[in-house]
Structures are given as C-alpha cells and as structure tokens.
Amino acid sequence: MAKTRAAITAVGAYLPSSVLDNKTLEQMVDTNDEWIVSRTGIQERRILKEPGRATAYMAIQAAQNLLEKTRLSAEDIELIIVATATADMPVVATAAQVITALGAKNAFGYDLQAACSGFLYGLSTASAYIESGRYQKVLLIGADMMSSIVDYEDRTTCILFGDGAGAVLLEPNSEGNGYIDEYLRSDGVGKLHLGIAAGGSLLPASTDTVAEKKHYIYQDGQVVFKFAVTHMADAAEQIMLRNQLTNSEVSYLVSHQANKRIIDATAKRMGIVEEKVLMNIERYGNTTAATIPLLLNDFEHLFKKGDNIVVSAFGAGFTWGAALLKWAYNSKD
Ligand code: UT7
C-alpha cells in the first residue's frame, strides 16, 4: 500500500459581490486601465463593503460553500487552519470564529500568517497532521480582506489587491495521490520591501502612526518583483527536478496571483505551455492567502485524478516556495 498522503478532496470559495474595476480606480488615483493591465494583468477586483463583515465572514462563507458540496457535516472536521494576513482582530484567531459559525464543535483551529505564501505553507502544515495519522479531516482556508490595509490614495498598491476566500478539505489518501513534495523558504530581508510598519509589537498604534499612514501596506514594487520572479521560478524548477517531472508531465501551474508577468516568468522557466498556466488575476487581483484556493475552486472542473499540479507562491517576509500535488479525484465524481 502506498504511503498515506494528504489529498484535497473538496474545494469552496467566496467572493464579495462588489466589483472595483480599473475605470473606477482611474477616478480615485492617477492611473489608467492600460497601465494596470499591461503591468499586472488585473482588470477588476472584489471588495467586501458591508459594515461588520471582514475576513472571518469570507472564511466562513468559503467553508460553508465547500461543506455544501460534500456529504460531510461540520462536526466531522477535526482541525481548521486559516491562512490570513488580515485577521478580523489582533490576538483573536479567525479560525475560532469559523469553528463557531460552522458548528464544528469537534474541531480546534488557529491562524497561520505567512502573507501571500500562507496557503502554501498551510498545505505543508495540514498535510503533516494527516501524514502522521493525527487527524483525518482538516479544513484549510486562505482568506484576506486586503481592502482593510490598502491606502486608496496610493496608486502603487491600491490597484493590486482584492478581497476573497477559498477553502480546501484535506483527507488521507493511500492511492499515491495528494501532497507529494515541497520546497519552502523564507528570508527576513523582505521586511524592508513589503509589509505594514505599525500596529505590531515593534511600533504599536499611536496618533503618529495613524497620521503617517503606517497602518497601510507598503511595497517597493520593483525589488519585490525581482525577488518574486527569481525565487518562485527557482522553487518551481526545484520541484520539477526533485520529482523528475518533465514540462509535458506537469498538468497545471497554480501560482499565487500577484502579477501576470511574474506568473509568466515562472511558467517560462518551467517550460510549460500557456494552457497549463491557470490565472484569474484579471478578475480578482491579488487576494493574498486566497489566490491559490480561489484558483483551485475556479479550475476544479479541469482537474483529473493523477494530474500533476505545481503550486507556487511568493509573499511578504519574504516567504516563498512551491509544492507538487497529485490531484486525487475527477471533478465530476
Ligand atoms: O503578492 C506579494 C508580492 N508582491 C508582488 O509580487 C508584486 C511585485 N511587484 C510588481 O508586481 C510590480 O513591481 C508593480 C505592478 C507593483 C509595479 O510595476 P513595475 O513595472 O515594477 O512599475 P514601477 O514600479 O517600476 O513603476 C513604473 C512607472 C513609475 O513612473 P516613472 O518613475 O517611470 O515615471 C511609477 O511611478 O509607473 C508609475 N506607476 C504608475 N503609473 C500608473 C506606478 N504605479 C502606477 C499606477 N498607474 N498605478
């Protein structure tokens, strides 16, 4: 019998209904549709606007969407991990809110913060629990309300980000499918180039930090771009080499959606054709921890049992990496 692996057995998603398109952004900052599309590939993003709703709300909706597609009850779930950089509140774990709202009374849960790599790192964490035999049903959610930390007067960041949530269920698989390999790395140099300066223990909130707009995300785009292109492509290439995968044996690239040009560079290094490069950045922008599960949800209908899916991400920290998933089911099953 093959080694027990952790396989994705269901997916779900939630996107707010409000659309922020490039034309609307043209009214807000000095930008234009042509610049945004040619530099990033983004045409529109979703924004969560209803007062009183934030990341936990989207995570709950994505989890409920997933549960509706399965025969599972929330009580069957043992662990819920929420990858997010925008928890509803500091200190309070988003996962606890999700557990209570779902009625997952036999589960415990916590948040995982690795910015745009949060979902990828979460796959590693969730898979380890399953491979060890400790838990059999783990819900991994990637959810971010980027609109809560974006300065809509800063044209260098406000055009990039959107809100959303995606969820996957991981269960044991003994057919050789599931989470096969990972190549994950981190480098603290990233704090100079991408992050939020205030509101943490280093620089707690004060009237000064608010006046200086230090609670918004900052990014040195060009530096981050260069790191992202180099490291994400390296990681994806490592995964192919370590698993002796040729470009024709890769079924799909499911990459973090930060910039179409970064994804194209990764695909080029892997030598894979355009049809295998899955993208929805044009509709949702960069939803941070939600990009990868949103792609899995949008393109689930394409996936067949045994497909080799390379997942890759790059984000603040810096955090980055790639993983190999052998898809475990035919979506029509
Ligand atoms: O997910 C987390 C990781 N994040 C990333 O992976 C993002 C990585 N970085 C990027 O994707 C790109 O660097 C950006 C999309 C953020 C920017 O694209 P770029 O091609 O690197 O542009 P740039 O920063 O070099 O700016 C080029 C020009 C500048 O003007 P000058 O100095 O050449 O006159 C900018 O001021 O474009 C200007 N610019 C804009 N123009 C119109 C910057 N933002 C805008 C804008 N609209 N929104």
CA of 34 to the centre of ligand 1 (A): 13
CA of 288 to the centre of ligand 1 (A): 17
> From CA 30, how far away is CA 219, in angstroms rounded?
18
Element containing residue 119 per DSSP (H, E)? helix 118-131
- Inter-CA distances, 92 with 49, 103, 109, Å: 22, 18, 11
The catalytic position among 65, 259, 286, 297 is 286
Q: Are 100 and 128 in contact (CB under 8 A)?
A: no
Average pLDDT, the chain: 97
Whole-number pLDDT of residue 187: 98
The number of the ligand 1 atom at minimal distance from the alpha carbon of 159 is 48
The reply to whether ligand 1 has any atom less than 6 angstroms from the CB of 40 is yes
Whole-number pLDDT of residue 234: 96
Q: Are 184 and 121 in contact (CB under 8 A)?
A: yes
> From CA 114, how far away is CA 129, in angstroms rounded?
19
Task: Show the tokens assigned to 57.
Answer: 């709300």
Which 8-state DSSP code applies to residue 4? P
Where do we find the tokens 């069957």?
76
CA of 221 to the centre of ligand 1 (A): 6
> From CA 110, how far away is CA 156, in angstroms rounded?
32
- Inter-CA distances, 282 with 13, 165, 289, Å: 17, 16, 17
116 in catalytic set: yes
Ligand 1 atom 29: residue of nearest CA = 156
158 in catalytic set: no
- Quick check: helix, strand or coil at residue 73? coil
The catalytic position among 158, 173, 193, 256 is 256
Q: Are 302 and 97 in contact (CB under 8 A)?
A: no
Query: Is the pTM of the predicted complex or chain greater than 0.95?
Result: yes
Ligand 1 atom 39: residue of nearest CA = 156
> From CA 300, how far away is CA 172, in angstroms rounded?
19
DSSP strand E in the chain: where? 5-14, 18-21, 44-47, 79-83, 108-112, 138-145, 163-173, 178-186, 194-196, 217-219, 252-255, 277-278, 308-315, 319-326
Cα 59 to chain centroid, rounded: 12
Q: Express each pLDDT in 237-283 by its tens digit.
A: 999 999 999 999 999 999 999 999 999 999 999 999 999 999 999 99
Reply yes or no on whether the pLDDT at 331 is more than 90. no
Whole-number pLDDT of residue 1: 65
- Band (308; pLDDT cuts 50, 70, 90): very high
Mean pLDDT over 26-47 rounds to 98
Whole-number pLDDT of residue 2: 78
Reply yes or no on whether the pLDDT at 309 is more than 60. yes
The reply to whether ligand 1 has any atom less than 6 angstroms from the CB of 57 is no
256 in catalytic set: yes
Nearest CA to 185 among 317, 75, 284, 279?
317
Least trusted range by pLDDT, from 2-6, 54-58, 61-65, 320-324: 2-6
> From CA 193, how far away is CA 263, in angstroms rounded?
20
Element containing residue 294 per DSSP (H, E)? helix 291-298
Q: Are 251 and 245 in contact (CB under 8 A)?
A: no
The catalytic position among 116, 193, 259, 297 is 116
CA of 39 to the centre of ligand 1 (A): 7
Residues whose CB falls within 8 Å of the CB of residue 293, separated by 6 or more in sequence, listed in order: 11, 13, 62, 119, 140, 141, 142, 165, 166, 167, 168
Which 8-state DSSP code applies to residue 225? H
The reply to whether ligand 1 has any atom less than 6 angstroms from the CB of 85 is no
Mean pLDDT over 116-141 rounds to 98
Reply yes or no on whether the pLDDT at 108 is more than 80. yes
- Of the residues 117, 219, 222, 286, which should be mutated to test ligand 1's pocket, given the most ligand atoms within 8 Å of the CB? 222
CA of 207 to the centre of ligand 1 (A): 30
Task: Show the tokens assigned to 328.
Answer: 């475990």
- Of the residues 29, 156, 187, which should be mutated to test ligand 1's pocket, given the most ligand atoms within 8 Å of the CB? 156
Whole-number pLDDT of residue 332: 64
Task: Show the tokens assigned to 148.
Answer: 């809560």
Mean pLDDT over 9-22 rounds to 98
The reply to whether ligand 1 has any atom less than 6 angstroms from the CB of 156 is yes
> From CA 228, how far away is CA 204, in angstroms rounded?
29
Reply yes or no on whether the pLDDT at 333 is more than 60. no
